[in-house]
Chain A
Amino acid sequence: MAPDPNASSSGTVPSKDPKKKKDEKKEEDLSDEDLALKQQLELYVERVQDPDPGLQKVALESMRQEIRTSTSSMTSVPKPLKFLRPHYGTLKAYYETMQDSDLKKYLADILSVLALTMSAEGERESLKYRLLGSEGDIGSWGHEYVRNLAGEIAQEYAKRQSEEAPIDDLMELVQQIVAFHMKHNAEPEAVDLLMEVEDLDLLIEHVDSTNFKRTCLYLTSSARYLPGPDDMLVLDIAYMIYLKFEEYPNALQIALFLDNMQYVKQVFTSCDDLLRKKQFCYILARHGITFELDDEMAADDDDREALQEIINNSRLSEGYLTLARDIEVMEPKSPEDIYKAHLLDGRASAGASVDSARQNLAATFVNAFVNAGFGQDKLMTVPSDNTSGGSSSNWLFKNKEHGKTSAAASLSMILLWDVDAGLAQIDKYFHLSDSHIIAGALLGVGIVNCGIKNDCDPALALLGDYVDKDDSSIRIGAIMGLGISYAGSQNEQIRSKLAPILNEAKAPLDVIAFTAISLGLVYVGSCNEEVAQAIIFALMDRSESELGEPLTRLLPLGLGLLYLGKQESVEATAEVSKTFNEKIRKYCDMTLLSCAYAGTGNVLKVQNLLGHCSQHLDKGETHQGPAVLGIAMVAMAEELGLEMAIRSLEHLLQYGEQNIRQAVPLALALLCISNPKVNVMDTLSRLSHDTDSEVAMAAVISLGLIGAGTNNARIAGMLRNLSSYYYKDASLLFCVRIAQGLVHLGKGLLTLNPYHSERFLLSPTALAGLVTMLHACLDMKAIILGKYHYILYFLVLAMQPRMLLTVDENLKPLSVPVRVGQAVDVVGQAGRPKTITGFQTHSTPVLLAAGDRAELATEKYIPLSPILEGFVILKENPEYREEH
């Protein structure tokens, strides 16, 4: 059928043509109204060039009037501007010929506005004429104009900076623009401009009670993407603004982020409400730093004691048990409840009649992790009254040699944070003669005191004497115990006890390695010179063969922990490390770099580390492991960088050598700790069947870490299947068991995430504990599967209840309804947007999953902290009235 295609083609072509024509016509055929406007404007342009100043003035006024009244929208150019477009050149030319006068300024104003649409890119004519103009109210020309101007100022500023030209006139304009933006809900624009012109201090003058929250939110979240030291500056400003508006909890958080104790102190001294101070103490306690209050911060002795008690975390156990009782998970669980072997058919290991030491050890750990902090379990705390029953009644003796160390220490894990009950129960182990058990008891004293401070310093009192014993397992127990209980305290006494060990000529390598780690933990992020020196000398004293030992890796790590998150401060030490023996030099370099930039999100450092991973080594160097971990440590700071790091790690998996592939699962674990992202879960699940057993083991452990404390059913199922898949491989099965224990950490009430307070703050001790454990996992076979499995207990540093517990003014638990939902990013949004989505209403105490945020669902109370996490004090709302 010939006509059809013709018809269709002829049908389409004309349909296009008329449109085009219409457009053209539009250009020409203006409506009467527009035509009139056009002619009017043309007339004004002519008049402006009239020699008569009076006429000129009228023309300019009218033109200005036309421009201002026209509705400006972003999508189309306002009509007056459009019609004036052809005359821009003429007006410009005329302007040059004019005498200096008010009228000339007037014209400059108009030219400045016209330049908004007509000036060529990069000419910055709008700004030029603005500066020449009458400097009238900037906002009267509309938002778009101000915005454009701000952009040009930024460019001009950069140019003038490079020419070292004066900027006073610009700054004046900036003042005006900032004031305008702040008044018109455009805080991000104001902040951006001020950041461009490097004068954020201006902001403080312009914030008021209506916009400071949004301003600060924008400041704090943009700080993550700024290069140092700008980010510190930005946070400083935010801190100042919060302080100005008496938003002390927020100010405190920024102070903690900056790790600036002076600021923390200032927060305490500026606030005089005891209840609010108590809330500050809860925030400090969650962050896990050691902080001593003085008279200035709390004048009254009793008050100070009460506050210090909160910082010392002495109530943590109580709060955690309140949560557990509320959720009804007090019933102790046995390892078998976790393994759920009945769900596996056939493949489950044959009901072995003989105990396997490896499996019993795994059960010990599982039991410790699962019942952590509950004070009761089915293996360690069962009353051993039927002593006639002999070995069967006491689980401790079902472990072999060094296994008993972990078993004894597991008791304190169950009694975690409950110092009184814990010490009382551990005491019995001190009376046994087995050195492994005593080592475990010593370690246990450290664990039970983890994060808790006490005036009597029980850990130091009990452990101090054992540090210098002859038996190296006892020494390690005491040293590790001190490191765990005094992590972050920078306690001088500990240093004087531990530092000499590093110089001991006869001390075995393992004692030295654990000493270095403990010192690193105690002085985490302190940049302490003396400790650094001690560890450096210890490293230099190692013989060539000792440097090849797996445990040696803890020495550089101990050194690195001293500089955790301290960025440039590490440089001097990094220089020194270049003089180390070749065997450890690079390893040390990587460890220091990754620790120093941990939690900063510094993209350059990530690239640097990736660069190290891209090399193919053939000399059996080991530094790529810490480099891979380092990528995760640096990139874990914020969500975007984290996603990118996950992708980069996938590439490393594909192209990397074996030593890199082993470290990748661990890095993924750190990135998603206690936050089981599905894509990472899938990757790890795939790797858990890797032909390389080291990779598989790391992946299995990592599965446990990403699911730590979540009770995630999918991971639990994967691990169960892995337990039947690897039922013959004792090493892998051990890893699977550990991972199962981790997934059910604290029966799902705990988290290992070092980030808290809506992912804003990074607890240094928690990160240090995690990193230590992960570094140990780089050589799984020699350390975790060898006789140093108790290194797993370093995880206790990162263990925190993932709860929201509201308390009343007397700090007694108070149940109120709260909405818990996925947190929404509201940075830079106008108005009061919803901060959570897909929420459910619960009554406190509640569990918070990764990425969850809570808000009060009642007006009856006012929370004293804007971030509802951990302990939050509620104050009755005086304005609240029951609705009836």
Chain B
Amino acid sequence: MITVSVKWQKEMFKDVEIDTSQPPYVFKCQLYDLTGVPPERQKIMVKGGLLKDDADWSTLGVKEGQKLMMMGTADEIIKAPEKGPVFMEDLPEEEQVVALGHSAGLFNLGNTCYMNSTLQCLHSVPELKSALIKYSHSGKSNDVDQSSHMLAIATRDLFNELDKSVKPVAPMQFWMLLRKKYPQFGQLHNGVFMQQDAEECWTQLLYTLSQSLKTTGSSENPDTVKALFGIELVSRVHCQESGEESSEAESVYSLKCHISQEVNHLHEGLKHGLKSELEKASPSLGRSAIYLKESRIDGLPRYLTIQFVRFFWKRESNQKAKILRKVDYPLELDVYDLCSDDLRGKLEAPRQRLRDEEGKKLGLKASKDGSSSKDNDVKMSNAEGSSNGSGEPSMATSQEDSETQMTGIYDLVAVLTHKGRSADSGHYVGWVKQESGKWIEYDDDSPIAQREEDITKLSGGGDWHMAYICMYKARTIPM
């Protein structure tokens, strides 16, 4: 018999007797009584070795009063969960995109930042994407020329690729077809492709898409692009000299924000842009006279595109020079007072309801401690995003027309900026609001997260990026 002391965790069991004639297993059972650790889990350390169940005590040289150390868990042993967690690194690429929270960037193929930024802005319109998905080879009709058709297909494929890839995408196919359709984009200067005006690219691309998509859809939805971006204007043309007055209606894809000395804010620029003077032959005077044309919005699009007229042709330098003037634009734009009386009447009811709802929300918010307005915005756009997303994508426009109403209030969703002194030089970048409410700056192949307050700082007045085209999304209210 030897007595030893055994240390287990922080406890010390003194005077444990070892019957050296019995195998150590017996000793372990003794310890089981003391500690509750089953013998098979016991690890007893004796001078740099573990005590084996069938060891011989005499060879181990355990001395009287020696301290032994035991390791073992008395409680339930943890088990590995049956299903391990899924790691981002293991996900297929498209799911990684979801986790990433934004889509991929586009490689610059040599002065193609104007095209990349345009594509990124348009890519953020889900309705356009779904319309393109519906567009297929077979849907091609005869009145669309081959190159337009091919360009639409390329756009569709590129948008698809953007959604699925984590790494930047090289828009080779698209660019080739764009040059084919619009040879002006293939201009060379010193052997390299020239920088182009992004606005031109934007307009041409939308025109092509509208041509291609027009003919495909069902009868109820003749022109998807027009439904999404088209702005109905009614104009009153008035000649002061003769007192003649006429009215015309037209449809445009973007509003122009004219920049002059008095314009400090987008709203003023838009008003300015809706008034113009033109000279035309006056039937009553029998000569050409100055007519004043005042336009008003008669139909609102889902996506309101606003172009800042920053470039003008400067004859002396023979280039498109840029107006650097700072013109502020809001994150939330109200076009109510640019609307025709007809439209105003239609907007009145939904606007009231929207106000009520917001008041309710704010009231609730106010009771909690004042969270930032940014939060509000994000939440609202989220809610909206989900309502849009829930609808059948292909039928999105038509259905939502029936389900929701315009309010004349718009939220900023994309900004295309230009940095530099002339349209054909400098750098274009797209800033796009994601569904998550985050803003991403797409500087060619590198998407960079940005803060919302920095987006409004792109209003010009220096050599920083300044907004050239803004895209607003309509805030709608369900019927």
Name the CB-closest residue of A to B37. A427
Q: Which residues of B contact A462 (CB under 8 A)?
A: 43, 45, 50, 71
Q: Is the C-beta of A1 less than 8 angstroms from some C-beta in chain B?
A: no
Known A397-B81, A397-B85: A428·B73 in contact at CB below 8 Å: yes
A391/B86 in contact, CB under 8 A: no
Q: Which residues of B contact A421 (CB under 8 A)?
A: 9-10
Q: Is the C-beta of A346 less than 8 angstroms from some C-beta in chain B?
A: yes
What sequence of 0s and 1s flags, for each residue 293-316 of chain B, a beta carbon within 8 Å of any chain A beta carbon? 000000000000000000000000
Known A346-B450, A355-B86, A357-B88: A428·B77 in contact at CB below 8 Å: yes
- In Å, the complex CA distance between A390 and B78 comes to 11
Q: Which residues of B contact A658 (CB under 8 A)?
A: none
B47/A457 in contact, CB under 8 A: yes
- In Å, the complex CA distance between A428 and B9 comes to 13
What sequence of 0s and 1s flags, for each residue 712-730 of chain A, a beta carbon within 8 Å of any chain B beta carbon? 0000000000000001000
- In Å, the complex CA distance between A686 and B154 comes to 44
Q: Is the C-beta of B48 less than 8 angstroms from some C-beta in chain A?
A: yes
Q: Which residues of B contact A357 (CB under 8 A)?
A: 87-90
Partner of B88, one of A352, A387, A394, A427: A352
B271 to chain A, nearest CB (A): 33
Q: Which residues of A contact B89 (CB under 8 A)?
A: 356-358, 400
- In Å, the complex CA distance between A342 and B187 comes to 49
Q: Is the C-beta of B438 less than 8 angstroms from some C-beta in chain A?
A: yes
- In Å, the complex CA distance between A353 and B436 comes to 12
What sequence of 0s and 1s flags, for each residue 1-24 of chain B, a beta carbon within 8 Å of any chain A beta carbon? 000000111100000000000000
Q: Is the C-beta of B283 less than 8 angstroms from some C-beta in chain A?
A: no
Q: Is the C-beta of A423 less than 8 angstroms from some C-beta in chain B?
A: yes
B55 to chain A, nearest CB (A): 13
Q: Is the C-beta of B169 less than 8 angstroms from some C-beta in chain A?
A: no
What sequence of 0s and 1s flags, for each residue 363-384 of chain B, a beta carbon within 8 Å of any chain A beta carbon? 0000000000000000000000
A427/B43 in contact, CB under 8 A: yes
Q: Is the C-beta of B393 less than 8 angstroms from some C-beta in chain A?
A: no
Q: Which residues of B contact A350 (CB under 8 A)?
A: 100-101, 436, 438, 449
Partner of A428, one of B48, B78, B91: B78
- In Å, the complex CA distance between A360 and B449 comes to 22
What sequence of 0s and 1s flags, for each residue 361-390 of chain A, a beta carbon within 8 Å of any chain B beta carbon? 000000000000000000000001001001
A19-38 residues at the B interface, CB under 8 angstroms: none
Interface size range of chain B in the complex:
35 or more
B78/A355 in contact, CB under 8 A: no
A335-364 residues at the B interface, CB under 8 angstroms: 345-347, 350, 352-358, 360
Q: Is the C-beta of B83 less than 8 angstroms from some C-beta in chain A?
A: yes
A345/B451 in contact, CB under 8 A: yes
Name the CB-closest residue of B to A432. B80
A789 to chain B, nearest CB (A): 14
| Central interface residue in B9, B46, B86, by most chain A CB within 10 Å | B9
Q: Which residues of B contact A454 (CB under 8 A)?
A: 69
What sequence of 0s and 1s flags, for each residue 47-70 of chain B, a beta carbon within 8 Å of any chain A beta carbon? 111100000000000000001110
Total interface residues on A, CB under 8 Å, equals 43
B83/A391 in contact, CB under 8 A: yes
Partner of A457, one of B9, B48, B87, B95: B48
- In Å, the complex CA distance between A380 and B321 comes to 63
- In Å, the complex CA distance between A433 and B46 comes to 26
A347/B50 in contact, CB under 8 A: no
A355/B449 in contact, CB under 8 A: no
Known A387-B78, A461-B45, A461-B49: A427·B91 in contact at CB below 8 Å: no
What sequence of 0s and 1s flags, for each residue 853-864 of chain A, a beta carbon within 8 Å of any chain B beta carbon? 000000000000
Q: Which residues of A contact B78 (CB under 8 A)?
A: 384, 387, 394, 428, 432
User: Residues of B at under 8 Å CB distance from A?
Assistant: 7-10, 41, 43, 45-50, 67-69, 71-73, 76-91, 95, 99-101, 436, 438, 449-452, 454
Q: Can you list 29 residue pairs at the A/B interface with Cβ under 8 Å?
A: A346-B454, A347-B449, A350-B449, A355-B87, A355-B88, A356-B87, A356-B88, A357-B90, A360-B87, A391-B83, A394-B81, A400-B90, A423-B69, A428-B73, A432-B80, A433-B80, A434-B80, A455-B47, A458-B45, A460-B48, A461-B45, A461-B46, A461-B47, A461-B48, A461-B50, A462-B43, A462-B50, A462-B71, A464-B50
User: Residues of A at under 8 Å CB distance from B?
Assistant: 345-347, 350, 352-358, 360, 384, 387, 390-391, 394, 397-398, 400, 420-421, 423-424, 427-428, 431-434, 437, 454-458, 460-462, 464-465, 493, 727
A354-B91, A400-B90 given. 18 additional CB < 8 A pairs? A350-B438, A352-B88, A352-B99, A352-B101, A356-B88, A360-B87, A397-B80, A421-B10, A424-B8, A431-B77, A433-B80, A456-B47, A456-B67, A460-B49, A461-B46, A461-B48, A462-B71, A493-B48
- Top 8 nearest A-B pairs (CB, nearest first) are A346-B451, A457-B48, A461-B45, A350-B101, A357-B87, A456-B69, A391-B81, A424-B9
